[in-house]
């Protein structure tokens, strides 16, 4: 869960050596105004029951606490396709951010394969998943999963400049298996640097 949220946030901070608004190493950007909602009108078999991020604002780099509760009425099996649509508000228009290096508006054909590559089958699930008995491989059995508030430590500062795309963002994530939509979640946030 922490890694997924971290990857979404990385979509708004791109390492480059360019001209736009840049931050020196270890200078902070802030994410604030985070909100979310299910976008399926209660018809999808998988629903986010609660999702919160703390602190507000979130500083990048910085500690991140995630609280997530999900319920599923079906077993989740491969292939679990996830389609992320990330948009940035420019003037009064929402502009879709393309997928670059698996960040932005990307399609992940099978979340199960991604998890297997990140955590080889037979390897124990990493903390805090292991402590809370949360799965890290498909199939995910139907039921409810709760990730109590966990803390992600500050990552080491990267070398080089960081381009920050200040502004308002909205993200839609749709998970499916074949032709069946399983879940849809919309999020909104603002990104600002000093």
pLDDT one-digit tens code per residue, 76-112: 999 999 999 999 999 999 999 999 988 899 999 999 9
- Alpha-helical segments (H) within 24-128: 111-118
Find the distance separating the first CA and the last CA of the chain, reported in whole Å.
28
pLDDT one-digit tens code per residue, 104-150: 999 999 999 999 999 999 899 988 788 878 889 999 999 998 876 55
Distance CA 50, CA 121 (A): 29
Which of the 8 DSSP states describes residue 110? Answer: -
Q: For the whole prediction, is pTM greater than 0.85?
A: no
Mean pLDDT calculated for residue range 15-41: 63
Domain count, the chain: 1
Residue 19, both tokens: 């001209």
pLDDT one-digit tens code per residue, 38-77: 998 889 999 999 998 877 777 766 777 888 899 999 999 9
How does residue 152 score in pLDDT terms, banded at 50, 70 and 90?
low
> Is the per-residue pLDDT at 177 higher than 90?
yes
Q: Domain range spanning residue 26? A: 2-193
**What per-residue confidence (pLDDT) applies to 58?**
74
Among 19-23, 36-40, 139-143, 181-185, name the one with the lowest average pLDDT: 19-23
DSSP letter string, 119-162: S-TTSPPPTTHHHHT---SSPBPSEEEEEEEEEEPPPPPPSS-E
Mean pLDDT of the chain: 79
Q: Domain holding 178: CATH number?
A: 2.70.220.10
């Amino acid at each position: 869960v922490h890694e997924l949220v971290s990857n979404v946030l990385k979509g708004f901070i791109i390492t480059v050596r360019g001209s736009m608004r840049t931050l020196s190493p270890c200078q902070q950007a802030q994410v604030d105004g985070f909100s979310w909602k299910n976008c399926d009108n209660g018809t999808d078999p998988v629903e986010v029951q609660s999702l919160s991020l703390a602190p507000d604002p979130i500083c990048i780099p910085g500690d991140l606490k995630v609280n997530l509760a999900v319920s599923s009425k079906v077993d989740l099996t491969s292939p679990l396709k996830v389609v992320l649509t990330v948009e940035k508000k420019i003037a009064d228009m929402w502009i879709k951010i393309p997928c670059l290096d698996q960040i932005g508006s990307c399609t992940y054909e099978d979340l199960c394969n991604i998890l297997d590559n990140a955590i080889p089958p037979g390897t124990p699930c990493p903390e805090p998943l292991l402590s809370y008995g949360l799965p890290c491989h498909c199939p995910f059995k139907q039921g409810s999963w709760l990730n109590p508030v966990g803390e992600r430590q500050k990552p080491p500062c990267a070398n080089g400049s960081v381009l920050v795309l200040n502004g308002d963002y909205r993200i839609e994530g749709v998970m499916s298996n074949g032709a069946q939509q399983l879940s849809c979640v919309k999020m909104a946030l603002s990104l600002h640097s000093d």
